[in-house]
Homo-oligomer: A and B are copies of this chain.
Amino acid sequence: MSRNLAQADEPPVLDYETGAAMAPAEHAAELRLWLRLLTCSTMIEGEIRRRLRERFDVTLPRFDLMAQLARAPQGLTLSELSQRMMVSNGNVTGLVERLVESGHLSRRKSAHDRRSHLVALTPQGREAFRAMAVEHEAWIADFFGDLDASEIDGLMALLGKAKASTRRAVSAGIARPEEEDREDNP
């Protein structure tokens, strides 16, 4: 696990500087929303991590990587893996190395591009993942077990909107590589 401003449980919202009860600040609602979102994903992620270790002696990053390969039977390059997992290239290098070592993954040179390597699940890797995926899906269903179908749909839709909004905000911040004194770009 790790992570952030999330609270084990929400105490009254306090002002950062004084610790006093916060006056109706500018964006308190958004801040509270972020903390709650973070609490949810941290709790779920931590429990998945714990159960994967306990039941299968596997780490979450390795499970994630295998999950990506499970839906790409033809294999993926390291770059494709890092994009899909939203982690750095160097990170994937190490994960793949350990999973090849443990026999879950195979790795071969790409036929068309001598720079890249194709990675895929071995038969053992595929079978190990299948077993984990079955339980994993049941865990998730249990975590959201108190929500009915319409609530799940509602969450999906609102999170979809939040995702699009965040993507917009993040993109807007890129494209200006940190120079501040140039004349020839918007």
* Chain A interface residues (CB < 8 Å from chain B): 1-8, 11, 14-19, 25-27, 29-34, 36-47, 51, 60-61, 64, 67, 70-73, 83-87, 91, 126, 129-130, 133, 137-147, 149, 151-156, 158-170, 173
Q: Is the interface of A mostly helix, strand, loop or mixed?
A: helix
- A33–B144 CB distance below 8 A: yes
Nearest residue, chain B, Cβ from A164: B146
Please name 23 pairs of A and B residues whose Cβ atoms are closer than 8 Å in the assembled complex, sorted by A. Answer: A8-B83, A16-B67, A16-B70, A17-B70, A17-B126, A19-B71, A27-B137, A27-B141, A30-B137, A30-B143, A31-B141, A37-B41, A40-B159, A40-B166, A47-B166, A143-B162, A143-B170, A144-B162, A145-B168, A145-B169, A147-B161, A151-B158, A154-B158
Chain B residues near A166: list those with CB within 8 A: 40, 43-44, 47, 143-144
- A33–B155 CB distance below 8 A: yes
- A4–B137 CB distance below 8 A: no
Chain B residues near A26: list those with CB within 8 A: 137, 141
